[in-house]
Amino acid sequence: MPYLLDLVLPYLLNLAYLVLLVAALPWLVWQSFRKGKYREGLGAKLLGRVPRRRSVVPCVWFHAVSVGEVNLLATLLDEIARRCPEWECAVSTTTMTGMALATKKYPGLRVFYCPLDFSWAVRAAVRRVRPNVLVLAELELWPNLVRAAKESGAQVAVVNGRLSERSFRGYRRIRPLAAWVLRHIDLIAAQDETYAERFRQLGARPEAVHVTGSMKYDGAQTDRANPATQRLRGLAGIGPDDIVFLAGSTQEPEEAAALEAFRQLRPAWPRLRLILVPRHPDRFAAVGRLLDQSGLAWQRRSRLETEGPDPQARVLLVDTVGELGAWWGTAQIAFVGGSLGPRGGQNMIEPAAYGAAVSFGPNTRNFRDIVAAMLDRRAAVVVNDAAELTAFVRRCLEDPSFAAELGRRAKALVASQLGATTRTFELLRPLVESADAARR
């Protein structure tokens, strides 16, 4: 039965992907026309025409779906550069924003769009990259990609492995396929024991599953005086007496909620400033229109270099990609978006690491373990709607000791979780070395 599945699975998957692609084609064309999406990298996505690697040194191919995963890999790539500089690393991504950030963040690495999971495309990409190890960030179980890597002699790993309850239920519905993929994975470095056990229940080999913690903690900057944050403070003209309320990774209607809190509180606290950082670039224009309608003086981040800071503009729209981590370092009060709507939350570790007073909405299923830890240590506050967000910001302004203590607990929590990157690297190194030895 496993041999038969190995034989027919690629063809069945190709057929299923083609049906889905044809069904989604009108929407894809519309998105391409309206928002410019899905136009780039068609050769890589459909045919596997990724940059060809010429060298014979050990290679690790990291796949990061979008912005969050691209940022996640930074600490691990730094560890590799420091301890195994002879390795060659490549980074693939799926989204346009992920590609833009990866190209900017890792200029010395090979960066490309990951092929869609058609057997011909992933095989061509694997032949061109020739990885020793394919590393999937968090969870990207693409069967044909995993199979192509294994057939080439590469090892396959999942790092910072996360399997939410919702994803777990979904994979259980296709457990035979999930189990087939997981049995081909040589290493699963899970964030915690709950996730590790879910991987095992889906069919992962127990000896392949390890608990390493979350690398997201390691990637967080804790020093507000870091050069990137200091540069942004200067660009925005943020003074030492200013109180920055930053709403980051936001989606509709979170920008409006943050703006309303600012509007209500600014008269009593004239040093209050608001910084809005929408999650997706395609929302920059809509948030700009919202700010125009507010009647408040505001400025775009993209114009700070040319125009300088406007002293009258107490609201800043960050309409650039990849800077949120540094902007969090300017904030005393933080709201982490994607949590009042259905998205499931965004990363709240970065503002916590800086010691900001952190708040987020009730919908944080994507970060349940982190949220549970923060709430257990009274290091964050859940706000259920716009009114509660205003009340939270007001309390931070009226009682600075409350905000400071909230931030102190958050920063202490992050400090206690450090070390996942090193543990992950120590598990990856023997995979790379064994795959390299087998090919020589």
Catalytic residue annotation: 69
Structure-block tokens of residue 279: 């999650």
Torsion of CA 196, 200, 203, 205, to 10 degrees: 90
- The two beta strands, 333-336 and 357-360, are parallel
Q: Report residue 381 as tokens.
A: 């506050």
Evaluate whether 112 touches 130 at the Cβ level (below 8 Å): no
Rounded CA-CA distance 143/138 in Å is: 15
Distance, CA of 209 to CA of 290 (rounded, Å): 47
State the maximum Cα–Cα separation within the chain, in Å, rounded to a whole number.
71
Q: Is 157 left (phi over 0), alpha (psi -120 to 50) or beta?
A: beta
DSSP per-residue letters across 216-232: HHHT----TT-HHHHHH
Q: Is 71 exposed, middle or buried (0-12, 13-18, 19+ CB in 10 A)?
A: buried
Closest CA to 426 of 20, 106, 84: 84
